[in-house]
Chain A
């Protein structure tokens, strides 16, 4: 059928009234695409004082199951109003199709109604509370399990999977260098610029160096790196392990006598614990570099001056305060990434959900731990 022909073939419905006799003449193709135009007319058909109805299908073209349904519904409707209805000139195929559709038709129950919105909110709060407390318990026991397996691995280092470890270190460490470096550099630039703006009001531009150095080394370097790594590697851990869970690879591993904790979790957690301090050091350097570049450009502080001021401003301890947090953060990120991966159920949808959850939880816990450590360090005067 050409496009032109398709345009010509349309359906129409004629309603002819003749005293007590009502004739409905269906012409053309009664297919899904045509029905929208006729449905309201048929639905609201008013027989008035007619006693007999003839449904004339002799001019009908193609009728599909939707068309047959409409015809059959109209027929039923009129019959139910106590009218005498007759099908006239219906092609046998159409009549059969109407019969088939009618015979099989079962009305589906209406969609279940949701709860009252207020109740729904309360229900949700309750459910989430239960879920979170359950998750906290599970996470705590997973923490214990991870530490046990880790200690066992350290006691028997030959059982650590070297290839997997190196490959994870490459993926989480080496491959993260560009993004970590760029972001730290830019944060150094921003800190220096904002600091210079404020400190210039007291004529104390030179202390911009102190601000950048202490800010980057103590907090910003490690925090930014941890957040980037949580988004980059923590999510990857969840997605990798989760996909393996969906494919039943984890179950296969267990049946082959391999412990997923040892094969999957350990290399990832250990790799991250080894790599995050290195990444943090690199981020510190890049951040200072960003600050130095900005200081040279905007404040006319030369690299040499910057280095001298830096020497006055910070000690190795300042650097250590930042870096010492890295293994703890790495452990949290790695553990949560793996834990959420193992929580994936057998659907692709849950991989996405758990990945989101892993990133949010990891970042949240990293920041909580960072706050706690800051207080701890200030109490012990570090």
Chain B
């Protein structure tokens, strides 16, 4: 079992570009999550390096979203330690947790925009709550965010119900970035988008990640996204994660991983990624 230890194989084959000396931005050790009698994660270890794009994949019901929800504090872990920026989340008091929350941004599956507010007002919410920026500066920064995520300017005063799915996700991303978060958590960012929209969203996330030096943790089912922007991938199998580059993971004997990357869709995504030259090695 020790040989299958995900972290081990991952680190060994991890991209050389990663600065191994830097302390991880996010590290989880011995995490256990349990709902009633069903155990979702057991003794799970996981860490993310600064400036890295980490993909999280796994079969339905393996607890990908639960993992993210646990990290951002929406679920209480049954056991284990989660530390972000080197600080244990369990040991933080209310004010410290607030400060911590303003350093990460979360994009929920369908954007989770507040439906009674316009896009501009949605982006303004975290700025109003967590900073003392003047209204004029807030307005300027809203413009900056809206243009950064590639929304047309006239979208600013529209309500979420008037936007398409892709635009809602972009608006959600703008809100997640409102306070210039250091870590971005994305829950299935490309789900429900057409292939062109999904590819554009991948490019957008890659661009922003490079421009702002973000650390990104992204749950996804989209193999193309994995190939396009992820530096490393974590696979949830047997209540634990196996971490590594896609190449390293392909050498794992686990049947699910083999099926996932070696299946027809996996091979197609690998092929198109090679053609486009967007393999993570090229961008890193």
Q: Does B116 belong to the interface (CB within 8 Å)?
A: yes
Chain A: minimal CB distance from B23 (Å): 10
Which residues B32-89 have CB closer than 8 A to chain A?
A: 85-86
Chain A: minimal CB distance from B88 (Å): 13
Question: Could you tell me if A104 and B153 are in contact, using CB atoms closer than 8 angstroms?
Answer: no
Question: Could you tell me if A39 and B137 are in contact, using CB atoms closer than 8 angstroms?
Answer: yes
Chain A: minimal CB distance from B279 (Å): 23
Q: Does A328 belong to the interface (CB within 8 Å)?
A: no
Q: Does A59 belong to the interface (CB within 8 Å)?
A: no
Q: Does A93 belong to the interface (CB within 8 Å)?
A: yes
Q: Does B97 belong to the interface (CB within 8 Å)?
A: no
Label chain B's interface by main secondary structure: helix
- CA of A117 to CA of B119 in the docked complex: distance in angstroms? 24
Q: How many residues of chain A get a CB closer than 8 Å to chain B's CBs?
A: 32
Residues of chain B with a CB closer than 8 A to A31's CB:
180
Q: Does B284 belong to the interface (CB within 8 Å)?
A: no
Instruction: Identify the closest chain B residue to A64 (Cβ).
Output: B180
A-contact bits for B112-150, CB 8 A (1 contact / 0 none): 000110101000000100011110110011111111100
Q: Does A40 belong to the interface (CB within 8 Å)?
A: yes
Question: Could you tell me if B141 and A66 are in contact, using CB atoms closer than 8 angstroms?
Answer: yes
Q: Does B179 belong to the interface (CB within 8 Å)?
A: yes
Given the interface pairs A66-B144, A107-B143, A109-B157, the reply to whether A36 lies near B131 with Cβ below 8 Å is: yes
Question: Could you tell me if B161 and A40 are in contact, using CB atoms closer than 8 angstroms?
Answer: no
Residues of chain B with a CB closer than 8 A to A3's CB:
96
Query: Of B120, B127, B136, B141, which contacts A69 at CB under 8 A?
Result: B141
Which residues A1-54 have CB closer than 8 A to chain B?
A: 1, 3, 31-33, 35-36, 39-40, 43
Query: Of A36, A70, A104, which contacts B147 at CB under 8 A?
Result: A104
Query: Of A32, A96, A101, A104, which contacts B133 at CB under 8 A?
Result: A32
Residues of chain B with a CB closer than 8 A to A137's CB:
none
Question: Could you tell me if B154 and A109 are in contact, using CB atoms closer than 8 angstroms?
Answer: yes
Residues of A bordering B, CB below 8 Å: 1, 3, 31-33, 35-36, 39-40, 43, 64-66, 69-70, 73, 93, 96-97, 100-101, 104-109, 111-112, 347-349
Can you report 20 A-B residue pairs in the complex whose CB atoms are below 8 A from each other? A35-B137, A36-B133, A39-B133, A39-B137, A43-B136, A64-B212, A65-B148, A66-B180, A69-B140, A69-B141, A73-B140, A100-B211, A105-B144, A106-B146, A108-B146, A108-B157, A109-B157, A111-B157, A347-B161, A349-B116
Residues of B bordering A, CB below 8 Å: 85-86, 96, 102, 115-116, 118, 120, 127, 131-134, 136-137, 140-148, 153-154, 156-157, 161, 177, 179-180, 211-213
